[in-house]
Every structure is written in C-alpha cells, then in structure tokens.
Amino acid sequence: MSDVQGPPDGRKPVFAAERRKRILELLRANGTLSLRQLAEAVQSSEVTVRRDVRALEADGLLDRHHGGASLPGELSREATYLQKAQVAGDEKAAIADLAAALVEDGDAIAIGPGTTTHALAQRLTGHTELTVVTNSLLVAQTLAASPRIEVVVTGGTLRGPVQALIGSAAERSLAGLRMRRVFISGNGLTAERGLSTPNMQVAGTDRALAEAGEEVVVLADHTKVGVDTMVQTVPPERIDHLVTGEEAAPEELHELSARGVRIHVARL
C-alpha cells in the first residue's frame, strides 16, 4: 500500500501518520522487530515500512539497523526469561522437538541459556549416556533427575534475568572442552552478523560455548530471525545448523543457507 498524497500545504498524509504511530506502538510492545514483521503488522509493503522507519529515525523516534528497527537504546535492552517465555510458545516447542532429533545417546553436548534451549532440555530427559555442559540453571535443574545424564555446570556469576552463569569464570570453565554439538540461542539472528545478544558478558560466555562445539546449532523462533542486537556472539560462518519456525523471514533463511547454514524448519 502506497502513501496517500497529502494536501498541498505539506501536512503529513493521515495514513502515513497512523501507520508510523502504529510502528512505534509495536516496537514499544515487542522490542526489536524486523521490517517484515512490521510490514505484516501494519498490512503494508516492506518498501513503504522502510520509508516510514527512515522518517521516524530522522525524527529521533527509533533506531534503524540491518533488516529492522528498535526504540532508541533497545539494542542493548535484555529481556528477562519470563518475558521471553511469553513469546511464540508453540513455535518454540516445535523447534525443541526438531532440535532433539539432533541429539543421540552417548553424545557430549552443550546447551546455552534461553527459553527454547530450556524446552530442548525438557525433551532430553530420557536419553542415556548423555553428557550435557551448560551455564543455564534451568537446563541443569531440568536434567538433574535423569540418572543416565551427566550434567556439567560451568562456574561464573549468576545473571538473574536469563538464569545463567556468565563472565570470566564461566568462560574459563569451558576452555579446553570439546562437545559434538552446542545448542545456543540469542536475541537476534541475521545472515550478515549471525547471532547476537544485548549484553557483552552474556555474549562472551555464548562465544565460549560455541567455541567448545564441533558444530553449532542455533535455536531461534521467527521473532529473532532478521533482528540484530548490539553484540555479535556467533558469526554466520560459524553456525552449522539453524532450527527455526515456518514464519521466519524467507529472505534471511535463503542468505543463511547460501553461507552454508543447514536450515531446519519446525512445522506447527
């Protein structure tokens, strides 16, 4: 839908003004969003929404970045576990189901913090001879009652919002370890920068987790795909698998696939 031409006195067209107001409301409610998500929400084209985003950025009302937009300062805002748990619950469950197929009895794996990785851990409780390294308190707690799973918890400083151990002690405890696969999440994923997160200490520990894996498996629901946040954790060339939902931006998935990432799409 193109903008309606305004009157000759230069006032903003009412449709554009209403659409831009709605874009700001969406960002306040959801944080960072991709252009595709915004376009769908306001029932307009990505070309039109891109023009709206540029106008709102010029007015200082939002920050524009690769493939999306956020409120000023939003790239460094970290959502809590409870806030994340309220988003795309069915999709995260389907992603966890599909990701669980990448784990075999006898494996040594690592699982990072996050709502989707926690859901994955819930699906692994019946495995045998499995070793799981994690910095997530929720993952460790979930697997604690499984007698045939050895759980190795990193050291580190507890970061309450994400229920994870982070920092230099966590990174040191991961140094020298080698696992078959590392299952990791984040706050944003783009073909240009890979996985990202708003917090520098969380990013450092996520990088250490990824370095410990022969293969890196990213679990990201569609709200993360096409979204960029402040600190890069895993560059795209280091990602071996992406498990995501069927609503994920197809152009971003195509670009990731072109960079060698194997795409697994979970169907609801």
Read off the pTM. Answer: 0.73
- H-helix or E-strand spanning residue 164: strand 164-166
pLDDT by residue, tens only, the chain of 268 residues: 333 333 333 444 448 888 998 888 888 766 678 888 888 888 888 899 999 998 998 888 888 876 788 777 655 455 555 555 555 678 999 999 999 999 999 999 999 999 999 999 999 999 999 999 999 999 999 999 999 999 999 999 999 888 999 999 999 999 999 999 999 999 889 999 999 988 888 999 999 999 999 999 999 998 889 888 888 999 999 999 999 999 898 999 999 999 999 999 999 8
Other beta carbons within 10 Å of 100 = 18
Measuring CA to CA, how many Å separate 141 from each of 131, 135, 136, 145? 14, 11, 9, 8
What is the reported pLDDT for 177?
Answer: 95
- H-helix or E-strand spanning residue 36: helix 35-42
What is the reported pLDDT for 75?
Answer: 52
Measuring CA to CA, how many Å separate 94 from each of 99, 118, 142, 253, 259? 9, 13, 18, 18, 25
What radius of gyration, in Å, describes the C-alpha atoms of the chain? 20
What is the reported pLDDT for 101?
Answer: 97
Give residue for tokens 């450092």: 204
What is the reported pLDDT for 80?
Answer: 52
Task: Assign a CATH topology to domain 81-266.
Answer: Rossmann fold (3.40.50)
> What is the spatial distance between Cα 182 and Cα 102, in angstroms, rounded to a whole number?
11
- Enumerate the domain spans of the chain: 14-76, 81-266
**Tokens linked to 26:** 């969406």
CATH for the 14-76 domain, from 2.70.98.10, 1.10.10.10, 2.40.30.60, 1.10.3720.10: 1.10.10.10
